[in-house]
Structure 1
Amino acid sequence: MGSLDMSSANAVHQVVIIGASYGGIPVAHGLLKDVFPALSAARKQKYKVVLIAPNDHFYWKIGAPRLIVNPAALPLEKLLLPIADGFKQYPRDQYEFIYAYATSIDPDKKTVSTSTDESVHYDSLVIASGTTFATPVWSTSNGLDALRADLAELHEKLPAAESILVGGGGAVGTETTGELGETFGGKKELTLLSGSTQLLPRLSNKKVGKDAEARLTKLEVKVIHGVRVTSYSKTAENKTAVKLSDGTEKIVNVYIDATGDRPNSKFVPEAWLDPRGFVKTDGRTLRLDVPDVQHVYCIGSVGSYSTGNVFDTKFAMKALLESIRLDLIGKRETSSSSIASLDPTPPGWIAWLTSWVPFYGSTETGTRKVFYKKFESDVQLIPIGPKQGVGVAFGWKMPSFAVVMAKSKDYMVSNAPKLVDGTE
C-alpha cells in the first residue's frame, strides 16, 4: 500500500470524524495535538480535521441519572459544555465543525452527506456516532432541543408524581432508581422493572446485582424481575399507560425508559454493518473490518468490537490513532503480526493504569507498538444515590465507599471540561 501523500505539497489530507462525544472529540484532539504536528514537520504535508455532529455541545451523559432526579445537585450547565471552547487552541485551517446529522456515506466518491445538504470530502474517515436511546434524555443523538425538552418535562412532573416507574435493570436504570430512592424514597411509589432475572445481568459477578437490589429495597424501591415493558403511551390525564410482558397494564405518573440503546448507523453503507447494525470493526486496530476498504475507522459504542462500556472508547483511543498514523505514512503492519510481539504494554492492572498514556510511535517508522486489548473482566461502577454504590473491577466486587469516592459523589463531572479541551 502506498503513501497517502497528496500530489501537491499544498494539498490537505482531510480526516472527517462523525460524532462529537466520548469518541469523536478525543480522536480530534489526538490527531491535532499528537499525530498531525509530527507528520506535518517530517513530511511537509497539511492535515485537517472536520468534525460532524448534530450537537455543538458535549453532554456528560454519565451524570444523567442525577440530572434527571436532582438538577439542583448536578445542573445541566455542568454536564453540557460548548465544543467550540475546546478547539479554540487550533488554527482555523486545521479544524472545522459542521453542525448537522450525517445522512449517508459514499465510499466511491469518499464523501459524507449531511442534513444541511453538504457533501463533505474525506481522505480518512472515523465513525464515532455512538448509540441512541428510546428517550432523548440519555444522549444528544436526537439533538439538544429534544434533550432539553425531555429534561424539562421530567423536572416538572417528578416532584408532584405519586408513582414513578423505571424500565430497565442495567446500569442506567439502576443508577436512576437509586437517585429516585435517595430523593423520594418513602414519599412516592417507586418501581424498577429489571426485565431480567436480576439487576445488572451483564455482569459476571452476580453478587453485585443482588447488592444493588438490597440497597434499593432499603430506599423503599420495589424491584420486579421477569417483567419488561412492551409499549407505553400518554393518557388523557397526562399520565403514562405502560403495557407489560405479563399481559397487564400499569398507569403511572412518570415512566422513565432506561431499557438500552441501538447504534447510530443508519447513514453507514449496509456492507459496513453487522447483522445487529453495528459498524464492522477490527477490535485490535479499530480499522473498518471490510475487505478492500482502507482509511476508514470506528471507535466507541457504534463499533462491533465494543460492549458499550466507556472503557471500550477511552482505552481504544491509542490503537485508533496509531492505525491512522501508520496509514498516513503508508506503512501498515502485516497480517501475521502478533499482539504479543508488537504491544509492549504489561498485562493486568499495570496495563489499565498506563493505557491512557499517549504513544503513537515514531513519525516515519511502520513498526506498530499499540494494539487494543479489550478487557475481558467486568469493570463498572454504579452509584445508588450520592452516599453509596456497587461496583466491580476486574471481576472483584468493590466496596461501597470506593464507588462513592470514584463516582457516586458527582458522577466524575470534573472530567467533562478536560475531555472537551483535550486535557483529560
Structure 2
Amino acid sequence: MVQRVVILGGSFGGLHVTHALLKKRNKDLKVILVSKNSHFFWNIASVRAIVPGQIKDEDILRPIAPALARYPSSSYEFLIGEATGADFASNTVTIALKDGITSTVPYDHLVLATGANYDSEVPTPWKASNSYDEILSLLHSTATAASQANHITVAGAGATGVEVAGELAYEWGNTKQIVLLSGSSTVLGNDIAGPAAANELKKLNVTIKYNARAVSSKKLDSGKTEVTLENGETITTDLYLPTTGMSPNTSYIPAEYLLGNKTVDVDEFLRVKNTTNVWAVGDVVSKPRAGFMITQKQAASAAKNIELALQSKQPVPAKGLPVDILACAVGRGRGAGRMGSIKLPSFGVWLAKGKTLGMPMAAGYIDGSVA
C-alpha cells in the first residue's frame, strides 16, 4: 500500500525533506509538497537584494516544479497553497489552494516546515511569507525606495537588522543617513560577536541608537514615516525597515501542540509530542534557535526518521551542529561572527558568507544534492 507523506512548506526544510525522500525511489511512497510560493526563495540574500543591481530575480527566486520533474510523476504531487488547519487525530490537513479551492489532504506522515514571518505593519521581504509575484514586487519596491531615500531607519539589531543596515551602508553610507535601532545596549543581543558587528557598522557610517525599541510607525502626508520609540521619542525617516517580531507560521496547528512562544513542541526525534507521525523542522521549531544551518540538519534528521518509520523501525535522536556558528555579513566587504565561543575574523566571515550570501548553495536545494 502506498504511504503518503505530506510536507507543508517549500523552503529550506521542506524542500530538503522532499528531495531526501524522493531520492530513495520508494515505489510505495508518495510525497505531497505544499508550498505557498511556486518558487524557492533564497531569503538569506534578501538583505542585499534591496540594493538595486546586486541580486538577479532569477537567482534569489527559483521555480520549484522543475526541481521535482526528475522524479516519476506518480511519486509526488506539488500543491501551491497554504495550510489553514490540521487534525492530527484524523491524519488530515486542510489546504487553501491557489485557485481558491479548499482541500482536505490525508497523510500517513506529516512534516511541518512552514517557517516564520515578520509580524510588522510594514511589509518586508525578509521571509517567503507571500506569493512569488508579491515577494518580487516587494523586493523591487523596497530597492526603489532605498535608492530614493536620504534617511533610512532599520529597526532591530539582531542578525537580520545588522545585515540590512550593513548592506545599505556599504552602498550609501557616505551619501545617506542609515540609522539602526537596537532595543538593548548592544547589537546581536548579548552575543560575543556583537561588539565586532557594531564596530564594522560604524566603519560604514551607520548610526546605532541603543535602548531604542520601536513600538509603532505611521505614514505621514509628506510620504515620510514617523517611528515612535518605547521611550516616547519619535524619528522621522524616508524609509522604515523593521526586522523585529519574527513569529512562527503555526496558526493552523492545534494549540495543544504548541509552546508559549507558538513554536511546535517536539521530542528528541523532531517528532511533535503526543503524536506518532507528525514531524517539525526549521523556524516552526526554533530549537536551539532559528537558523539556516540548523534547519538543514533538522531536515536531514526528520527525513531519516520518516524513512525508519516507513520501515516500522524506531527513530533515532536528531543530530545538531557540532558547534553553534553565527555569521553576520556587514555589507559586501566585511562581517562579524563566531564559532562556538571563538570569534571569527571579519575577512573569514566575508569569505564564508558575506561574499555571496550563500547564493551558490541555492542550486543544491533545487537539484536535491544537499539532501
TM-score norm. by structure 2 comes to: 0.94
Post-superposition Cα deviations, 1:331-389, rounded to whole Å, max 9, x if no partner, equal 226xxxxxxxxxxxxxxxxxxxxxxxxxxxxxxxxxx5xx3243585401111111111
Which residue does 1:269 correspond to in 2? 254
Post-superposition Cα deviations, 1:226-273, rounded to whole Å, max 9, x if no partner, equal 111101121112211111111011111001111141010010111111
Post-superposition Cα deviations, 1:299-336, rounded to whole Å, max 9, x if no partner, equal 11101534001222111233212221222122226xxx
> Is the CA contact 1:201–1:209 (under 8 Å) kept in the aligned structure 2?
yes
Say which structure is richer in strand.
2
CA shift, 1:153, in A, is 2.1
- Give the letter aligned to residue 196 of structure 1: S
Which residue does 2:229 correspond to in 1? 244
Q: Which runs of 5+ in 1 are unaligned?
A: 1-10, 41-45, 334-367
Which residue does 1:225 correspond to in 2? 210
SS at match of 1:415: helix
Which residue does 1:49 correspond to in 2? 31
Task: Give the Cα–Cα distance (whole angstroms) in 1 for the partners of residues 307 and 151 of structure 2.
Answer: 54
Task: Give the Cα–Cα distance (whole angstroms) in 2 for the partners of residues 306 and 71 of structure 1.
Answer: 35
Which residue does 2:141 correspond to in 1? 153
Post-superposition Cα deviations, 1:35-69, rounded to whole Å, max 9, x if no partner, equal x53xx5xxxxx11000111101000001111101x
Identity within the alignment, %: 33
Task: Give the Cα–Cα distance (whole angstroms) in 2 for the partners of residues 14 and 281 of structure 1.
Answer: 21
- Give the letter aligned to residue 14 of structure 1: R
Moved over 3 A (4+): 373-378
Task: Give the Cα–Cα distance (whole angstroms) in 2 for the partners of residues 266 and 404 of structure 1.
Answer: 37
Name which of 289, 292, 306 aligns with 2:273. Answer: 289
Post-superposition Cα deviations, 1:9-45, rounded to whole Å, max 9, x if no partner, equal xx321000000101000000001113x53xx5xxxxx
> Is the CA contact 1:281–1:304 (under 8 Å) kept in the aligned structure 2?
no
> Is the CA contact 1:274–1:304 (under 8 Å) kept in the aligned structure 2?
no
Which residue does 1:358 correspond to in 2? none
> Is the CA contact 2:38–2:131 (under 8 Å) kept in the aligned structure 1?
no
Name which of 305, 313, 332 aligns with 1:331. Answer: 313
- Give the letter aligned to residue 222 of structure 1: T
CA shift, 1:90, in A, is 0.5
Which residue does 2:348 correspond to in 1? 402
Aligned CA-pair RMSD: 1.6
Which residue does 1:356 correspond to in 2? none
> Is the CA contact 1:131–1:264 (under 8 Å) kept in the aligned structure 2?
yes
The worse-fitting range, judged by mean Cα deviation, of 386-395 and 317-326 is: 317-326
| Larger CA Rg, structure 1 vs 2 | 1
- Give the letter aligned to residue 285 of structure 1: F
- Give the letter aligned to residue 250 of structure 1: I
SS at match of 2:12: coil
Task: Give the Cα–Cα distance (whole angstroms) in 1 for the partners of residues 29 and 323 of structure 2.
Answer: 38
What does residue range 309-324 of structure 1 map to in structure 2 within 5 Å? 309-324=291-306
What does residue range 16-415 of structure 1 map to in structure 2 within 5 Å? 16-34=6-24, 36-37=25-26, 40=27, 46-68=28-50, 70-116=51-97, 117-133=102-118, 134=120, 135-203=123-191, 205=192, 208-282=193-267, 284-290=268-274, 293-303=275-285, 305-332=287-314, 368=316, 371-375=317-321, 377-415=323-361
Task: Give the Cα–Cα distance (whole angstroms) in 1 for the partners of residues 159 and 245 of structure 2.
Answer: 10
Task: Give the Cα–Cα distance (whole angstroms) in 1 for the partners of residues 171 and 300 of structure 2.
Answer: 40
CA shift, 1:202, in A, is 5.0
> Is the CA contact 1:301–1:312 (under 8 Å) kept in the aligned structure 2?
no
The worse-fitting range, judged by mean Cα deviation, of 311-320 and 80-89 is: 311-320
> Is the CA contact 2:157–2:180 (under 8 Å) kept in the aligned structure 1?
yes
CA shift, 1:186, in A, is 2.0
In the superposition, relative to structure 1, how do residues 405 and 121 fare at CA in structure 2: closer, same or farther (>3 Å)? same
In the superposition, relative to structure 1, how do residues 376 and 257 fare at CA in structure 2: closer, same or farther (>3 Å)? farther
